[in-house]
Structure 1
Amino acid sequence: MLFLGFLPDKYIFPSVIKACAGLSTLGIGRQVHSLVSVTGFGLDTFVQSSLVHMYVKCGEMKDAHRVFDRMLDRSVVCWSALVAGYARQGYVDKANELFDEMRSFGVEPNLVSWNGLIAGFSQNGLLSKSLLILQKMHLEGFKPDGTTISCVLSVVGDLEGLPIGIQIHAYVLKQALHSDKWVVSALLDMYGKCGSPSAMMQVFYELPQMEVASCNALVAGLSRNGLVEDALKVFKQYKDNKIELNVVSWTSIIACCTQNGKDIEALQLFREMQLSGVKPNAVTIPCLLPACANIAALMHGKAAHCFSIRKGISSDVYVGSALIDMYGKCGRIVDSRHCFDSLPARNLVCWNAIMRGYAMHGMAGEAIDIFNLMQKNGHKPDFISFTCVLSACCQGGLTKEGLQYFEKMSQEYGIEARMEHYACITTLLSRAGRLKEAYSMIKEMPFEPDACVWGALLSSCRVYANVSLGEVAAEKLFKLEPNNAGNYVLLSNIYAAKGMWNEVYRVRDAMSSMGLTKNPGCSWIEIKNEVYILLAGDRSHPQMAQIIERLERLNMEMKKSGYLPDTNFVLQDVEQQDKENILCGHSEKLAVGLGLLCTPPGSALRVIKNLRICGDCHTVIKFISMFEGREIFVRDTNRFHHFKDGMCSCGDYW
């Protein structure tokens, strides 16, 4: 229009300025403002009002106020926009001052004014202020509408103020606002955040009709409370009712599965999402990738990476950090570093993710290098950064360096040690055989040690067969986690390693009387895009006979090479041959055996185990890597073991 020589008038300018506000293009907005001034429309009320809104939307409150001060006719809309803008940026006194000043100029605030003030404080994290404004609004006789209630319920949820939420729910029913879909969604969200799933389900059952916003809020609320089965049931119900689910719906249920241990279901839902025609976005991919990471589904993770590249979102900092984490947990630390290096901008989450990956792979030197490089790039480490670097020192056996970082954390960085840092230091000392020092540190902690700290000590007592300290740690854990069978098993294993069979039977009888059962060893392996799960001692897999036969042949080759099974890792009072048979049934060996059968010679194998890898399996897999010419990656609860040419990356220190 300008190019053709036509000048805008007072009707065109407000539309153009509104477009600038909608796109948050401040630079173009300023140019339009200049054009307004030189064309003589700078004093038009509608143009001025549009400029105020544009500057408020772009966060330029000084410019907005400057235009506002020049206005001769200030409407309630302009007053409300300016008040909301200051509230949104956290200028509490200024927002309240303007709100009162509006009245002194004879302009009475309306519902939009009140809502703007409430929403502004809420968006800036001033939650209590929002509730005070609601109270003031109510006392002055203004009736909150659906917008007010939706905003305030979000505040109540963040504050976990269930009693206030129930009062507001009562108001919703009295004012017949329960037919407002945004109010219903806000109620579901509030009850979910307040840890009241029963009330949330009651709201759901009273819905006049199903719609997508309530589905999203309900799934998120159920997920937050760990009710993944209920969330899946609700999601299926919405699908069966032909509700048009959007990207938020699918992303919510995928995130719910990922966060609650339903990783395979998360991958299946992602496939369904694509088949239904809903396109994943930059939020969906970071929700999916942890599922790939948890079960080392590398091919699925790579497919998600390719998808993110095609959609142009791979450089997004959240997608990037999830990719770094996924490749690290799938044993591809080189790819993890490549993703890290290719990010145009990195936040602290990215730095921590690559450090965590190096720590998991026992690459302590690289983790420390990243820790130093992060600071050179202007990022100050947080408590997670120190957890990563301490964990790296644990895996690399850098006891002295780990203790130094622990001291620096508070002395140089002003970060007080948390429970996870004490758990790392306990592990660091214990794994180095310094069990008494670890116990002394636990006793000197400034707060009561939790199960992670005592668990770290108990695990190391198992490694070093320290009965006395093992009993101390176990007794603490029995009180903290009375239903955790793993603690009883660890103590039983310590007794068994010392041949104290009467004590073993006593612990196992105690477990039996409490109805506790040992979690079986379980391993995962991905073969041709499918994840296979194998349990220790389980014979149900259709190829089990071939797996056992292959392992027995390898066992014979190992014995010819001078290897003897380490039956010290069979913690049962049985004959020697029975012990060897039990060792053959360990889940990580079964997974490796399946991999040998079903993958081309020379290809790498990646296995995850739910427990710490045993010493005998570690020795066996070292031999297999050499004999079969394979790279084998095994991720246990502690770290990654990279087996190649008969050697392991851990240096037999784990």
Structure 2
Amino acid sequence: MGTRSNLRQSIDALCSLGSSATESVYTRLVLECVRANDAEQAARLQAHMESHSFRPNDTYIHNRLLHLYAKSGKVGTARNLFDRMPKRDVFSWNAMLSLFAKSRAQEDLWATFNDMPVRDSVSYNTVIAGFTDNRLPRKGLEVFAMMVVDGFQPTDHTYVSALHSCSMLLGLRQGKQIHGRIVLTGSLGTNAFVWNALINMYAKCGEINHAWWLFDKVPDKNVVSWNSMISAYLEVGLPEKCIEMFHEMQLASLKPDQVTISNVLNAYFETRRVDEARNLFSEVKGMKDKVCWTTMIAGYSQNGREEDALMIFRQMLLANAQPDSFTISAVISACAKLASLHQGRALHSKAILIGVDDNLLVSSALIDMYCKCGTISDARFVFNSMPSHNVVSWNAMIRGYAQNGRDQEALSLYESMIQANKKPDSVTFLAVLSACMHANLIEEGKKYFNSISKDHGITPTLDHYSCMIHLLGRSGRLDKALDLIKQMPHEPDSLIWSSFLSVCSKKGDIEHGEIAAKRLLEMDPFNAGPYIMLSNMYAAHSRWDDVASVRSLMNSRNVKKFAAYSWVEFDNKVHKFVSEDQAHPESEKIYGELQQLTRRLQEVGFVPNTRSVLHDVGEDEKFSSVCYHSEKLALAYSLLKLPGGVPIRILKNIRICVDCHLFMSHCAPTTSPNKQSLIIGGGGVALDKVALTIGV
């Protein structure tokens, strides 16, 4: 601060004299400006020289000013000085190249380079690095080739930039040619930057073994060398190897940086080692940048720990770390999975506050969140407010309509997307086929399925085939669904056979169901789903011996059934319930509310559907069994806690049963003016087609 103050006082004193200074004085003051990195005082000094018609004997003073302006990003000031310079040399031109490269003015960079009367290796290096840093790798390699043809010897800086261009292009052939030139000219030596650029190039191009071979030969490995290999293993889908490299790095007594931490956190989350990720994150004091925070948030969300993701975000804000569009979209996605509308809206406000609400990633996440919370009008408002749409935003809105039972609107929006000349992708067609499946639009579904490859050149995925199996199966065409499975170009996986088993279960087709269950149990004998579904099918037909046989097989193989649960949000907390749950501190009040509601519904004609109870027991026991399912407990708790008019949103990790669906449908007596909107979602994916008014 003192240096800048003294500099300003010196130039103030010079300006007060009213006359020109000597060249040595101007030179001294220019160098002071450079040392202080003060472009503002340099511009004042330049103005003083020009007002007194001072012309230096050489280019030294002007070149120092140009480099300072370039460093400070003062494009207009530098261009003005360059145009007025009576003499220019290669240093002057290089300063302008540096300025245009830094300011991302690629056209000016190229034009200036072509106008240069004389070039040196710095000129080429600046332009190659400028194009590479601004993601124009082909142009960077073009200038690299020109440099060699023009007889200039590439430097270490040249090789690093050129190799980065190869990495971006996945240009293994060009990278190997540059590697060969490096070896032939003896330039490899001990320069860590060149070694690291080579490692990164081979890793990015998929030659992980070659990258490791080079890494093993690096004479002095630094943190960048280790990061290159750690990130490489992560990118090629070897997170365990990434973690192993991290431990070796620690044994080598090298301190990891933020890049290391972010990559290793990702590796822990990919291998579902969530607690180890949390421990590492807690250990790295003072090294948590926004990338690390965002990695933690996204990792928790991807591993079903959405509440932890929200907690980490709150900690991030308390630590004064500034979130960006990636952070906000990750947190919004966590809210979407929880159907947490209150927190989702708060994050929407936060996005507006920090100016990222127009970001495509954030807007698409908001659309998805509002759709999963059942507020489709809010989702459409965000969609309509976007300055531009990409395929992700179109997909989010189409999928949202399909998830909320607005199937015709989903298909209409898809047609609008096509009319807008937007190219759909496989996710688009998954949403479109889901809409056809929900609306039982068999012929339309076939048309869209056939168009995937015929009109759009996309190979249908297993997910697309799964939708078609559901569509054909729901219409009773199980033979056609099985034929489709047999004709698939892919080997049917568990998704396909699970889809087929599901529709067989709905249609009560035991013969086809046994085929699907057999295939699924061959693939994974410890997955409880096929056992339970097959057992339920037998029970629905009163084949109790077969039920006992399946249950016995489950026990002999120690197969465990996963717990079904429902959840609601109240007072910024998520409350979870399981069937016949007694763990909630207010369970007595919840059961009282549910019993009262059940009695009132029975008084107006509700009859429980006990066919969903697949046990060989009496009718009274069946009735008791369906009374306290998790979604009913969640509804009762919501009615106790939420004021009238506030929407009730209940989410469940599996689809709701027939009785619960019927129960919710009857929650619409008009005996009370206290109306509330009820939205219930099942399966963790789509909202069920229940959006009713209840008054209790």
Q: TM-score, normalised by structure 2?
A: 0.84
The Cα offsets for residues 399-427 of structure 1, whole Å up to 9 and x where unpaired, read as 22111111222222222222111111111
Aligned residue among 261, 279, 284 for 1:215 = 261
Q: Is residue 2:686 matched to residue 1:639? A: yes
**Displacement, 1:17?**
4.2
Q: Indicate the residue corresponding to 2:585 in structure 1.
A: 542
The Cα offsets for residues 64-90 of structure 1, whole Å up to 9 and x where unpaired, read as 455334435422222223445666432
Q: Is residue 2:215 matched to residue 1:163? A: no
Residue 630 of structure 1 aligns to a residue whose secondary structure is: strand
Structure 2 letter corresponding to 1:387: L
Q: Indicate the residue corresponding to 1:133 in structure 2.
A: 178
Residue 624 of structure 1 aligns to a residue whose secondary structure is: coil
Structure 1 letter corresponding to 2:123: C
CA 200–572 in structure 1, closer or farther in 2 if over 3 Å, else same: farther
Gaps in structure 2 of 5+ consecutive residues = 1-42, 51-60
Q: Indicate the residue corresponding to 1:650 in structure 2.
A: none
Please show how residues 133-152 of structure 1 align to structure 2 within 5 Å.
133-134=178-179, 136-143=181-188, 145-152=191-198
Please show how residues 557-636 of structure 1 align to structure 2 within 5 Å.
557-626=600-669, 629-636=675-682
Q: Is the 8 A contact 2:504 2:510 kept in 1?
A: yes
Q: Is residue 2:272 matched to residue 1:230? A: no
Q: Is residue 2:154 matched to residue 1:109? A: yes
- Give the Cα separation in 2 of the matches to 1:13 and 1:285: 40
- Give the Cα separation in 1 of the matches to 2:431 and 2:81: 55
Q: Is residue 2:225 matched to residue 1:183? A: yes
Residue 576 of structure 2 aligns to a residue whose secondary structure is: strand
Q: Indicate the residue corresponding to 1:123 in structure 2.
A: 168
- Give the Cα separation in 2 of the matches to 1:482 and 1:204: 40
Structure 1 letter corresponding to 2:534: L
**Displacement, 1:353?**
0.7
Moved more, 373-382 or 361-370: 373-382
Residue 583 of structure 2 aligns to a residue whose secondary structure is: coil
Aligned residue among 550, 557, 565 for 1:522 = 565
Q: Indicate the residue corresponding to 2:68 in structure 1.
A: 15
Identity of aligned residues (%): 29
Q: Indicate the residue corresponding to 1:651 in structure 2.
A: none
Residue 644 of structure 1 aligns to a residue whose secondary structure is: strand
Q: Is the 8 A contact 1:368 1:389 kept in 2?
A: yes
**Displacement, 1:630?**
2.6
Q: Indicate the residue corresponding to 1:90 in structure 2.
A: 138
- Give the Cα separation in 2 of the matches to 1:112 and 1:209: 26
Q: Indicate the residue corresponding to 1:356 in structure 2.
A: 399
Structure 2 letter corresponding to 1:199: E
- Give the Cα separation in 2 of the matches to 1:299 and 1:558: 30
Q: Is residue 2:241 matched to residue 1:199? A: no
The Cα offsets for residues 117-143 of structure 1, whole Å up to 9 and x where unpaired, read as 101221334356435533542454222
- Give the Cα separation in 2 of the matches to 1:61 and 1:284: 30
Moved more, 270-279 or 66-75: 66-75
**Displacement, 1:288?**
1.1
Moved more, 157-166 or 109-118: 157-166
Residue 476 of structure 1 aligns to a residue whose secondary structure is: helix
- Give the Cα separation in 2 of the matches to 1:12 and 1:423: 66
CA 442–40 in structure 1, closer or farther in 2 if over 3 Å, else same: farther
Please show how residues 284-433 of structure 1 align to structure 2 within 5 Å.
284-433=327-476
CA 538–159 in structure 1, closer or farther in 2 if over 3 Å, else same: farther
- Give the Cα separation in 1 of the matches to 2:203 and 2:269: 15
- Give the Cα separation in 2 of the matches to 1:630 and 1:93: 64
Please show how residues 34-113 of structure 1 align to structure 2 within 5 Å.
36-37=82-83, 39-41=85-87, 43-55=88-100, 64-84=109-129, 88-90=136-138, 94-95=142-143, 97-102=145-150, 105=151, 107-113=152-158
CA 156–485 in structure 1, closer or farther in 2 if over 3 Å, else same: farther
Q: Indicate the residue corresponding to 1:504 in structure 2.
A: 547
Q: Indicate the residue corresponding to 2:311 in structure 1.
A: 268
Aligned residue among 478, 487, 490 for 1:447 = 490
CA 357–606 in structure 1, closer or farther in 2 if over 3 Å, else same: same
**Displacement, 1:279?**
1.9
The Cα offsets for residues 41-74 of structure 1, whole Å up to 9 and x where unpaired, read as 5x42122123334455667767645533443542
The Cα offsets for residues 89-135 of structure 1, whole Å up to 9 and x where unpaired, read as 32587356324314xx2x32221111111012213343564355335
Residue 377 of structure 2 aligns to a residue whose secondary structure is: helix
**Displacement, 1:606?**
0.5
- Give the Cα separation in 2 of the matches to 1:157 and 1:323: 35
The Cα offsets for residues 5-38 of structure 1, whole Å up to 9 and x where unpaired, read as 8659443334334544xx9xxxx67x96587346
Residue 182 of structure 1 aligns to a residue whose secondary structure is: helix
Moved more, 361-370 or 162-171: 162-171
Q: TM-score, normalised by structure 1?
A: 0.89
Higher relative contact order at CA 8 Å, sep ≥6: structure 1 or structure 2?
A: 1
Gaps in structure 1 of 5+ consecutive residues = 648-654
Moved more, 322-331 or 210-219: 210-219
**Displacement, 1:441?**
1.2
**Aligned-residue CA RMSD in angstroms?**
2.7
